[in-house]
Copies of this chain bind each other. A is one copy, B any other.
Amino acid sequence: MSAYILSGAMIPMGKHTNASYAGLAVPPVRRAIRESGLSRADIGAVYCGHAFGGMLTGQRIVKDLGIGGVPVVNIDNACSGGASAVQAACQAVEAGIVDVALVIGVDKLTQFGGGTLPLVTEDWEVRQGMVMPALYAMRARRYLHERDATPADLAAVAVKARRHGMTNPFAQIRKAATVEEVLASRVICDPLTLFQCCPTGDGAAALVVVSEGRFRRLGKSGLRVRASVLHSGTATTGFRDMLRPEITYHSAAEAYEVAEVDPKDLDLVELHDAFTIAELVYYEALGLCKPGHSAALLRSGATSQGGRTVVNPSGGLLAKGHPVGCSGVAQVVEAFWHLTDQAGARQIPNARLALTHVTGGGISGLDHGACTVHIFERAS
| Chain B residues with CB under 8 A of A97 | 91, 95
Contact B232 A361 (CB under 8 A): no
Q: Are B369 and A55 in contact (CB under 8 A)?
A: yes
Question: A residues 44-86 with Cβ under 8 Å of B?
Answer: 46, 51, 54-56, 58-60, 62-64, 66, 68-78, 84
For A77, the chain B residues whose CB sits under 8 A away are 56, 72-74
- Is B122's CB under 8 angstroms from A230's CB? no
Q: Which residues of B contact A332 (CB under 8 A)?
A: none
For residue A76, which residues in chain B have a CB less than 8 angstroms away from its CB? 55-56, 74-76
A91 in complex: contacting residue of B64, B84, B92, B123, CB < 8 Å: B92
Report chain B residues within 8 Å CB of A96. Answer: 95
- Whether A176 is near chain B, meaning CB under 8 Å from some CB there, is no
Q: In the complex, are the beta carbons of B56 and A363 less than 8 A apart?
A: yes
Which A residues from 1 to 36 make CB contacts under 8 A with B?
20-22
Q: Is the beta-carbon distance between B361 and A59 smaller than 8 angstroms?
A: yes
Query: Does A122 contact B55, Cβ atoms closer than 8 Å?
Result: no
- For A232, give its contact among B20, B46, B91, B119 (CB under 8 Å): B46
The reply to whether B361 and A120 form a contact with Cβ atoms under 8 Å apart is no
Asked if A174 is at the interface of the complex by the 8 Å CB criterion, the answer is: no
Copy tally for this chain in the complex stands at 2
Q: Are B122 and A56 in contact (CB under 8 A)?
A: no
Tell me if B63 and A366 are in contact (CB < 8 A): yes
Q: Is A365 on the interface with B (CB-CB < 8 A)?
A: yes
Contact of A59 among B63, B69, B91, B232 (CB under 8 A): B232
Q: Does A88 contact B (CB under 8 A)?
A: yes
- Which residues of B lie under 8 Å from residue A119 when comparing CB positions? 55
In the complex, whether A231 has a CB less than 8 A from a CB of chain B is: yes
Name the one of B70, B73, B78, B366 contacting A75, with C-beta atoms under 8 angstroms. B73
A235 within 8 A of B: yes
Report whether A69 and B370 are in contact in the complex, using a CB–CB cutoff of 8 Å: no
Cα–Cα, bound, A84→B55 (Å)? 13
- Which residues 347-380 of A sit at the B interface, judged by CB distance below 8 A? 361, 363, 365-366, 369-370
* Residues of chain B with a CB closer than 8 A to A63's CB: 232-235, 363, 365-366
25 contacts between A and B (CB under 8 A): A20-B122, A51-B55, A54-B120, A54-B122, A55-B78, A56-B76, A56-B77, A59-B232, A60-B120, A60-B369, A63-B363, A66-B235, A68-B234, A69-B234, A70-B232, A71-B87, A71-B230, A71-B232, A73-B75, A73-B84, A74-B75, A74-B76, A91-B92, A95-B96, A95-B97
